[in-house]
Amino acid sequence: MAHRSGRHFLQIPGPTNVPDRVLRAIDRPTIDHRGPSFGRFAQGVLADIRSIFRTEHPVVTYPSSGTGAWEAALVNTLSPGDRVLMYETGHFAVLWRRLAERLGLVVDLVEGDWRSGADPAAIEARLAADTGHEIKAVAVVHNETSTGATSRLPDVRAALDRTGHPALLLADTVSSLGSIDYRHDEWGVDVAVAASQKGLLLPPGLGLNAISEKARAASSAARLPRAYWDWEDMLAANARGFFPYTPATSLLYGLREAIDLLHEEGLEAVFARHRRHAAATRAAVEAWGLEVVCRVPAERSAAVTAAFMPGGEGADHVREIALERFDLSLGAGLGALADRVFRIGHLGDFNDLMLQGTLSGVEMSLELAGVELAGSGVRAAADRLAHGDVEVGVGT
């Protein structure tokens, strides 16, 4: 293949661009993961990652993808045949549901339209009807990257509290942690699922669970088989900065740098930057005359925007043009939205000019695909970045 000059625009909603400082940290020589230097280093990382989740409670890390962290959340807290209330917000909610069913759990599904976040009122109604408290956990995807919709986790917590239901609250924060406001302790989440390759500014390879006291107590009675994913084995070793098996040492070096980067910018500033870029991206989509997938303005994601193709298909052709002509990777439509939507990731290590370059590539690709545009999305986004206010919402 011929060399392509310039940078590749990786604008899928994860994996995201990795900052140079993190890449340099990962490039450090490997040291003995059972030696005292590593133990001291890992203790610091494991203590400081709590600040990104905004929790005082333990966070465990696994050499895994987010899927592994999904499984860890379930097997450490539940038993075969337990009922789990799950909300169908999109493709990743569907995948988490399938995993739960394969583990022998009974899923009580609230069906969704793939155009909004989880409805706290619908969850509350299911919990209120469960007078025998057979539902042991409620599992919600905080930010559904397949649709660009963010669920109102504090309102889901309030639904649990109003019904007096003792179920655990499990939240997938894979694409929200480090990108969208998330408060583990304040919102009463029992287990957060996260991964390294999105707002945490790292390559894929680390799965994480933030664990409440209630979740850890539940794990003592949970009977789903677990070995690799066992929290107690992990926490016992972590107390001294070690792991029950070989950790992803290079990624932990990168995680140390990523935590520092997020705090140097300030978490509130990070979230505001993501909201600003999301608002500009939606301004571009609307100027093109396309429709944003998430129909609820207050639930539109700060991490990713999904847009429908006019006519209902052809998104993959636009993505092919973007890659071949402009070296730009856009997110594919997934599951029920395959070929119907393209997704623009605007999360992680990202700035105004990178966004404008991305939107220019999308606009040119749409034109080359023969899509009749209502106007210039690039111009609309530039106006928004230069002069516009950012609307306030859950995901925005």
For the segment 59-78, what is each residue's pLDDT rounded down to a tens digit?
Answer: 999 999 999 999 999 999 99
Mean local confidence (pLDDT), 331-349: 98
pLDDT beyond 70 at 394: no
pLDDT beyond 80 at 89: yes
**What is the C-alpha separation between 341 and 363, in angstroms, rounded?**
15
How much of the chain is helix, strand and coil, in % rounded to 5? 40, 15, 40
Per the CB < 8 A criterion, the answer to whether 254 and 27 are in contact is: no
pLDDT beyond 70 at 1: no
DSSP string for 183-251: -TTTTT-SEEEEETTSTT-S-S-EEEEEE-HHHHHHHTT--S--STT-HHHHHHHHTTT--SS---HHH
User: Based on the structure, what is the number of domains in the chain?
Assistant: 2
Do 127 and 216 share a domain, yes or no? yes
User: pLDDT class for 390, splitting at 50, 70, 90?
Assistant: low
Do 245 and 336 share a domain, yes or no? no
pLDDT of residue 395: 60
Other Cβ atoms less than 10 A from the Cβ of 355: the count is 23
| Overall pTM surpassing 0.85 (yes/no) | yes
DSSP string for 308-336: EPTTS--HHHHHHHHHHHH-EEEEEP-GG
383: Cα within 13 Å, side-chain hemisphere: 9
Q: At what angle do helices 352-368 and 315-326 cross, to 10 degrees?
A: 120
- Whether 356 maps to a domain, the answer reads yes
Q: Output the six-digit token pair for 360.
A: 């220019």
pLDDT beyond 50 at 392: no
Do 81 and 180 share a domain, yes or no? yes
Q: Tell me which of 217, 239, 263 is where a domain ends.
A: 263
Mean local confidence (pLDDT), 6-34: 97
Do 150 and 294 share a domain, yes or no? no
- Whether 392 maps to a domain, the answer reads no
User: pLDDT class for 389, splitting at 50, 70, 90?
Assistant: low
pLDDT beyond 70 at 287: yes
Q: Tell me which of 226, 246, 263 is where a domain ends.
A: 263
The total number of residues written for the chain in this structure: 396
pLDDT of residue 3: 87
Mean local confidence (pLDDT), 217-232: 98
Range of the domain at 345: 9-15+267-387
Do 145 and 54 share a domain, yes or no? yes
Do 244 and 306 share a domain, yes or no? no
Per the CB < 8 A criterion, the answer to whether 65 and 207 are in contact is: yes
Mean local confidence (pLDDT), 169-181: 98
**What is the C-alpha separation between 197 and 352, in angstroms, rounded?**
21
Do 313 and 212 share a domain, yes or no? no
For the segment 343-378, what is each residue's pLDDT rounded down to a tens digit?
Answer: 999 999 999 999 999 999 999 999 999 999 999 999
User: pLDDT class for 384, splitting at 50, 70, 90?
Assistant: very high
Do 319 and 242 share a domain, yes or no? no
Do 47 and 133 share a domain, yes or no? yes
Q: Is 343 annotated as a binding residue?
A: yes
Report the CATH number at residue 113.
Answer: 3.40.640.10
Distance of CA 14 to the CA centre of its chain: 8
Q: Output the six-digit token pair for 78.
A: 């539940």
User: pLDDT class for 391, splitting at 50, 70, 90?
Assistant: low
Do 77 and 215 share a domain, yes or no? yes
